[in-house]
C-alpha cells in the first residue's frame, strides 16, 4: 500500500522539482541586470532542454512573449508566487549536532521563503545553548513550538537511530512536511510529505556510475552485462 502517484491535474512532480532551480537562475540573472531571457538561454543555465523548460513554464500558465522571450522580473515573480514565496514557511530544525548547526547557520533559506524559527534537541547538554541567534529548546516542547510559532516544515538532523522517533514526534505535533537528513527509510502516515536527503545514497549513485565507467573502459572485470560506451554528464536535484 503505497502512495498513489498523483495524477490529479496540478503540476507534474518532475516540473515541481525543477521550479526552484529556475527561480534561482532567474534571480541570478535579475541581479546581474538581465531584462529578458530566451527559453534556450534559461534552459542552458538550468541544465535542462529548452523544450522541457517551456513545457514546465507552460504548466504555470506562462508569461512569455513569442519572438522575444521571458521578462526576467516578471517570471521571477510568477515562479516565486507558485512556490509560495509570498508566504513565509517556518521551519524547525530537530537535532542540533554538527549538521544541525551547519543548517541553522546556512544562509540559503531566505531566497525560497523559508525561515528557521526554532531549534530542538533531546540532549540536555545542548538545550539552552544559543545557535544562530536561537535558543535550543528541549524535544518536549516540540508540539508547543509548532503550534505557537506556526511551523509548517520540520528538518530532521538527528542520528539514524533517533530519526523515526523524531519524525513521529513532529508528525504528532501536526507537521505535514518533513525533510530528513538521516540515513534511514522513515515511515510516515499518508498525507505527510517526506523528502529525504542522504549523503551516502548520493555517493553510492556516483560510485555506481564511476564503476560502470571503469568497467566499460576495460579496467575492471565487467560484472555487469551490457555494452554501454555511454558517458553523459547530468543529474541532480531531487529526483
Site of interaction with DNA (CB under 7 A): 2, 4-7, 12-15, 38-40, 48-52, 54-55, 57-58, 62-70
Are 48 and 25 a contacting pair, CB within 8 Å?
no
Which of the stretches 121-129, 133-141, 142-150, 205-213 binds a copy of itself when contact is defined by CB under 8 A? Answer: 205-213
How many binding residues for a copy of itself (CB under 8 A)? Answer: 102
The dihedral built from the CA positions of residue 7, 154, 102 and 196, taken in this order, carries a sign that is negative
Looking at beta carbons only, is 4 or 191 nearer to DNA? 4
Q: By CB under 8 A, is residue 63 in contact with a copy of itself?
A: no
Cα separations in angstroms, 141 against 6, 72, 121, 137, 170: 35, 43, 10, 7, 11
Q: By CB under 8 A, is residue 196 in contact with a copy of itself?
A: yes
The dihedral built from the CA positions of residue 21, 22, 23 and 28, taken in this order, carries a sign that is positive
| Order of strands, sheet of 89-94, starting from the edge strand that comes earlier in the sequence | 130-131, 134-138, 114-121, 89-94, 153-156, 177-180, 193-196
Residue of the chain from 63, 65, 135, 201 that contacts a copy of itself (CB under 8 A): 201
Q: By CB under 8 A, is residue 102 in contact with a copy of itself?
A: yes
Looking at beta carbons only, is 67 or 230 nearer to a copy of itself? 230
Q: Which of a copy of itself, DNA, none does residue 21 bind (CB under 5 to 8 Å by kind)?
A: a copy of itself
What distance in Å separates the CA atoms of residue 141 and residue 131, rounded to the nearest whole number? 17
Q: Which of a copy of itself, DNA, none does residue 68 bind (CB under 5 to 8 Å by kind)?
A: DNA
Residue of the chain from 26, 39, 57, 89 that contacts a copy of itself (CB under 8 A): 89
User: What's the angle, vertex CA 93, arms to CA 87 and CA 94, rounded to 5?
Assistant: 145
Closest CA to 26 of 107, 81, 91: 81
Report in angstroms how near the CB of residue 144 gets to a copy of itself at its nearest.
21
Q: By CB under 8 A, is residue 160 in contact with a copy of itself?
A: yes
Q: Which of a copy of itself, DNA, none does residue 39 bind (CB under 5 to 8 Å by kind)?
A: DNA
**DSSP alpha helix (H) spans, the chain:** 13-31, 39-46, 50-59, 72-82, 98-105, 142-149, 160-172, 199-216
Task: Kindly compute the dihedral angle of the four CA atoms of residues 197, 192, 143, 159, in this order, to the nearest 10 degrees.
Answer: -30
Q: By CB under 8 A, is residue 125 in contact with a copy of itself?
A: no
Q: Which of a copy of itself, DNA, none does residue 102 bind (CB under 5 to 8 Å by kind)?
A: a copy of itself
Report in angstroms how near the CB of residue 140 gets to a copy of itself at its nearest.
25
Looking at beta carbons only, is 68 or 220 nearer to a copy of itself? 220
Q: By CB under 8 A, is residue 72 in contact with a copy of itself?
A: no
C-alpha radius of gyration, the chain, whole number: 21
Amino acid at each position: 500500500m503505497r502512495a498513489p502517484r498523483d495524477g490529479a491535474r496540478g503540476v507534474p512532480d518532475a516540473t515541481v522539482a525543477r521550479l526552484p532551480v529556475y527561480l534561482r537562475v532567474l534571480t541570478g540573472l535579475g541581479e546581474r541586470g538581465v531584462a529578458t531571457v530566451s527559453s534556450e538561454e534559461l534552459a542552458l543555465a538550468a541544465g535542462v532542454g529548452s523544450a522541457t523548460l517551456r513545457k514546465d513554464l507552460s504548466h504555470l500558465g506562462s508569461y512569455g512573449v513569442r519572438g522575444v522571450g521571458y521578462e526576467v522580473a516578471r517570471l521571477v515573480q510568477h515562479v516565486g508566487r507558485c512556490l509560495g514565496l509570498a508566504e513565509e514557511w517556518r521551519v524547525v530544525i530537530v537535532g542540533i549536532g554538527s549538521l544541525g548547526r551547519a543548517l541553522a547557520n546556512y544562509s540559503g533559506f531566505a531566497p525560497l521563503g523559508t525561515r528557521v524559527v526554532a531549534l530542538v534537541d533531546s540532549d540536555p547538554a545542548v538545550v539552552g545553548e544559543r545557535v544562530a541567534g536561537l535558543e535550543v529548546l528541549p524535544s518536549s516542547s516540540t508540539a508547543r513550538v509548532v503550534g505557537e510559532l506556526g511551523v509548517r516544515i520540520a528538518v530532521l538532523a538527528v542520528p539514524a537511530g533517533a530519526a523515526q522517533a523524531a519524525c513521529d514526534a513532529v508528525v504528532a505535533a501536526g507537521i505535514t512536511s518533513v525533510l530528513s537528513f538521516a540515513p534511514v527509510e522513515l515511515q510516515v502516515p499518508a498525507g505527510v510529505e517526506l523528502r529525504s536527503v542522504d549523503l551516502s545514497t548520493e555517493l553510492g549513485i556516483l560510485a555506481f556510475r564511476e564503476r560502470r565507467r571503469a568497467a566499460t573502459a576495460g579496467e575492471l572485470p565487467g560484472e555487469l552485462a551490457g555494452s554501454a560506451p555511454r558517458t553523459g554528464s547530468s543529474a541532480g536535484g531531487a529526483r
